Structure 1
Amino acid sequence: MGKGEIHLLKTAHVSEKSVKEVEEAINEIEPDVVAVELDLPRYKSLKGEETEISVKDILKGNVFIFLFQMLLSYLQNRIGADLGVEPGAEMKKAIELAEEKDIEVALIDRDIRITMKRLWHQMTLREKLKMISSLVLGALGFGKQKEIDIDEITEDDTIEMLVSEFEKFSPNAAKVLIDERDAYLASNLLKEAKKEKKVLGVIGAGHGEGVKNYLQNYEEIPPLKQLTQIPKSRKYLKAIGILIPLSIIGLFGYLVFAGKPLSVILTALGYWFLINGSLAAIATLLARGHPLSIATAFSFAWLTSLSPFLAAGWFAGMAEAYVRKPTSQDFNLLKDAEKLSELMNNNLFKVILVAAAANVGSIIGTFIGAYILLKFAGIDVETLIPF
């Protein structure tokens, strides 16, 4: 590993105490490199640099991942506001002091976009629903309110307990958010130390033990390429995404070739249109979408359900974006939101929420609509269920 040194400072991201500890550690250790648990996007955010956004690109991707990330950020901001500390203040302090003392700054965390994509891919449907529902309830202020002793957050026993609880709550999420990043952080710390430099690693307390273990057993660190690979969609999910629309189209075809009266076929089509459209529109309404977005969701849901390449949320989201016109400023304000009102009144968040809601409504409508079509086709649905 060369003659380099690695010193770890475990911090809490919403702790005034951690800010002071950063200053003390830099002054005492006098490192050649201050390595912070940040990636480039979060570094730019802390520095106050505006991030360019493309609403089209966001809507083309998985809007649930973006929504998930924004809810996580909001809850962290709210905790910080309750404690009177800006989230990431200790990282910001580390960067400022390093720049003042002309010390090299190293960004050692994995790109947040890769982490979120890997997280979404690894989590089971049950874990996703559980996590999102917990985040939504937390954002709305529901759930158990517990007094936080921030000074205990960096204690090893406390952290071990918190990590253990998180692993029980969502094992796959814990693997991506904690274990994989432990390895990634340790790998980058070793890379800096190999330059024969004295490195101060400023990392969240939740990563302390894991990073330490990897530093001591560096041969167990997976290749960075493996940790940064964006997973491809599972083949069976792609197959399901194609088979469902084809099955629906096949049911309509069956009604035609089975010689069903035109009135029956048109009635079935009407049910399909109304069920899909109504549920997508209701979901958009509940997301506080603009009337134009509600009408768009209602009009396009029936069609998008018949195509694996279209989504009702894309159309509804684009309609909402046309009305709200979100900007880069909305994105930056969204990342700093501390109150529910700030979240719900943010134009970009409204667009994402509307897109996600319309998709959920359309998905539910597709299954209900399929059930109705089977009834019209004279197929006993109960016989298709093996239990």
Structure 2
Amino acid sequence: MCMKNIDRIKLKDRELILIGTAHISKKSIELVNETIKKEAPDVVGVELCQNRYNTLTDKKKWQNTKIIEIIKEGKAYLLLTNLILSIFQKKLGSKLDVLPGAEMIAAIKQAKKQNAKITMLDRDIQITLKRAWAKAKFREKAKIFYGLFEGLIITEEVDEKLIEEMKAKDMMTHMIDELGRQMPDAKKVLIDERDIYIANKILETKGKKIIAVVGAGHVAGIKKHLKKKQDIKCLEETPKKSKLLKTLNYAIPAIVIGLILAGFVFGKSIDVGISMLLYWFLINGCLTAFAVMFALPHPLTIISVFIAAPFTSLNPTIGAGIIGGYVEAKMRGPKVKDFENLNQLITVSGFWKNGISRILLIVVFANIGSSIATFIALPYLISLL
């Protein structure tokens, strides 16, 4: 048993055994199984939230989820980010014949064998991603996506030895420190907040002997926050849009509508207002349709975003991407089970071959194209007055 990845901590009259793992390591699975079997704990806690646990253990339910429901619920960006992370881990895991999260599933199975109570320690993944995205600056968001896509196209070989080196505490600490330097706001949500959350979940867990299975990168932070219980309700809240952003969401459409009305009322002739409407429709429709074409959609999807973009740009409650994604899903009708075919998604080009990921790209490209078109159209409208 590799003792250097195990920490024994006294919590008053209770004992906590903290196991730091690599998420795609065979040795981590062996370590988890051996430790739980030997220690016979009352409770086994795993670094999973209920949603991630359900996804890992009830794959049929996830596979049969219709992508159109995800688009309606506004989860396309979150799902795309989650997908890229999953592919990156599976790409590494495929080289080692280990699936991501295998050590967590191993911990759950071993706990069930020994009739130990099982508890989920992590915060809901949707809340974590929403908080990270909301708090990260634009530069940090760009770095995150660059890093994720870079991970998809890596060609260097990854072996068990490298994974074990990554799991070593000194290297993991260095990586986290680097993340904090490059992306401090994202690190706070992805690492620091979850350290606090997991530590407090452990403190709330009842049992004389507790085993907690967590990623090696969280061990140091969890140990630090085990010293004092904290209120974690604020960490479970999804961030609300800032007042400035809310104001802009309504102010920009109001400005556009005001300019067009001014064209009809104060223009030299009615032709000014008509010209402004024409500019608005053509610039918005053409640029959004052009952006969507990069996702190689169904022809009706291109037509739908061309027609919808001039209207959705004036409506803060719906984006052109939702319309485009909805039409694409209706025309080709894929389900989330397409994600299981990861052979298509090991490379960046695979995103255009898979029906699900292509829909997500359509949503993203349409919204980006529509936003750019709005800011390009404004100077043209002003120039016509």
User: TM-score, structure 2 length as denominator?
Assistant: 0.89
Kindly tell me: are residues 145 and 283 of structure 1, through their superposed partners in 2, closer, same or farther at Cα, counting changes over 3 Å?
Answer: farther
Rounded to whole Å, the distance in 2 between the matches of 1:186 and 1:255 is 61
Equivalence for 1:190: 203
Residue 93 (structure 2) aligned to one of 74, 80, 91: 80
Structure 2 counterparts to residues 204-353 of structure 1, below 5 A: 204-215=215-226, 217-219=227-229, 221=230, 223-330=231-338, 338=346, 340=348, 343-353=351-361
Shift of 1:309: 2.0
| Amino acid aligned to 2:44 | V
- Mean Cα deviation higher: 60-69 or 358-367: 60-69
Kindly tell me: are residues 337 and 77 of structure 1, through their superposed partners in 2, closer, same or farther at Cα, counting changes over 3 Å?
Answer: farther
Kindly tell me: are residues 269 and 68 of structure 1, through their superposed partners in 2, closer, same or farther at Cα, counting changes over 3 Å?
Answer: same
| Contact in 1 for aligned 2:16/2:212 (Cα 8 Å) | yes
Equivalence for 2:48: 38
Equivalence for 2:22: 12
Rounded to whole Å, the distance in 1 between the matches of 2:258 and 2:150 is 40
| Amino acid aligned to 1:118 | R
Shift of 1:342: 5.5
Shift of 1:230: 1.4
User: TM-score, structure 1 length as denominator?
Assistant: 0.89
Equivalence for 2:3: none
- Mean Cα deviation higher: 346-355 or 2-11: 346-355
Equivalence for 1:368: 376
Residue 3 (structure 1) aligned to one of 13, 19, 22: 13
For the residue of structure 1 that corresponds to 2:16, the secondary structure is strand
| Contact in 1 for aligned 2:305/2:323 (Cα 8 Å) | yes
Equivalence for 1:382: none
Identity across the alignment (%) = 38
Equivalence for 2:210: 199
For the residue of structure 2 that corresponds to 1:294, the secondary structure is helix
Rounded to whole Å, the distance in 1 between the matches of 2:293 and 2:19 is 47
Which residues of structure 1 form unaligned runs of 5+?
A: 378-387
Rounded to whole Å, the distance in 2 between the matches of 1:4 and 1:164 is 31
Kindly tell me: are residues 100 and 214 of structure 1, through their superposed partners in 2, closer, same or farther at Cα, counting changes over 3 Å?
Answer: same
| Contact in 1 for aligned 2:92/2:158 (Cα 8 Å) | no
| Contact in 2 for aligned 1:33/1:106 (Cα 8 Å) | yes
Structure 2 counterparts to residues 49-88 of structure 1, below 5 A: 49=59, 50-51=61-62, 53=65, 55-60=67-72, 61=74, 63-88=76-101
Equivalence for 1:116: 129
| Contact in 2 for aligned 1:334/1:349 (Cα 8 Å) | no
| Contact in 2 for aligned 1:65/1:120 (Cα 8 Å) | no
Shift of 1:124: 1.6
| Amino acid aligned to 1:30 | A
Kindly tell me: are residues 244 and 335 of structure 1, through their superposed partners in 2, closer, same or farther at Cα, counting changes over 3 Å?
Answer: farther
Shift of 1:24: 1.9
For the residue of structure 2 that corresponds to 1:153, the secondary structure is helix
Rounded to whole Å, the distance in 2 between the matches of 1:376 and 1:206 is 58
Q: Which whole-Å deviations, capped at 9, do the CAs of 1:192-248 have from their partners, x for residues lacking one?
A: 2xx242011100011010001111x224x3x12111011111111110000000011
For the residue of structure 2 that corresponds to 1:218, the secondary structure is coil
Kindly tell me: are residues 335 and 98 of structure 1, through their superposed partners in 2, closer, same or farther at Cα, counting changes over 3 Å?
Answer: farther
For the residue of structure 1 that corresponds to 2:297, the secondary structure is coil
Q: Which whole-Å deviations, capped at 9, do the CAs of 1:284-324 have from their partners, x for residues lacking one?
A: 11012111111111111111112222211111111011012
Shift of 1:65: 2.6
| Contact in 2 for aligned 1:74/1:335 (Cα 8 Å) | no
Kindly tell me: are residues 87 and 336 of structure 1, through their superposed partners in 2, closer, same or farther at Cα, counting changes over 3 Å?
Answer: farther
Structure 2 counterparts to residues 166-177 of structure 1, below 5 A: 166-177=179-190
For the residue of structure 2 that corresponds to 1:10, the secondary structure is strand
Kindly tell me: are residues 87 and 191 of structure 1, through their superposed partners in 2, closer, same or farther at Cα, counting changes over 3 Å?
Answer: same
| Contact in 2 for aligned 1:114/1:228 (Cα 8 Å) | yes
Kindly tell me: are residues 362 and 97 of structure 1, through their superposed partners in 2, closer, same or farther at Cα, counting changes over 3 Å?
Answer: same
| Amino acid aligned to 1:368 | I
| Contact in 1 for aligned 2:344/2:350 (Cα 8 Å) | no
Rounded to whole Å, the distance in 2 between the matches of 1:189 and 1:55 is 35
| Amino acid aligned to 1:16 | K
Residue 31 (structure 2) aligned to one of 17, 21, 45: 21
Rounded to whole Å, the distance in 2 between the matches of 1:138 and 1:23 is 30
For the residue of structure 2 that corresponds to 1:353, the secondary structure is helix
| Contact in 1 for aligned 2:149/2:348 (Cα 8 Å) | no
Shift of 1:335: 12
| Contact in 2 for aligned 1:77/1:337 (Cα 8 Å) | no
Rounded to whole Å, the distance in 2 between the matches of 1:85 and 1:335 is 15
- Answer yes or no: is 1:90 the counterpart of 2:100: no
| Contact in 2 for aligned 1:78/1:339 (Cα 8 Å) | no
Rounded to whole Å, the distance in 2 between the matches of 1:125 and 1:188 is 32
| Contact in 2 for aligned 1:74/1:336 (Cα 8 Å) | no
Rounded to whole Å, the distance in 2 between the matches of 1:171 and 1:341 is 31
Equivalence for 1:383: none
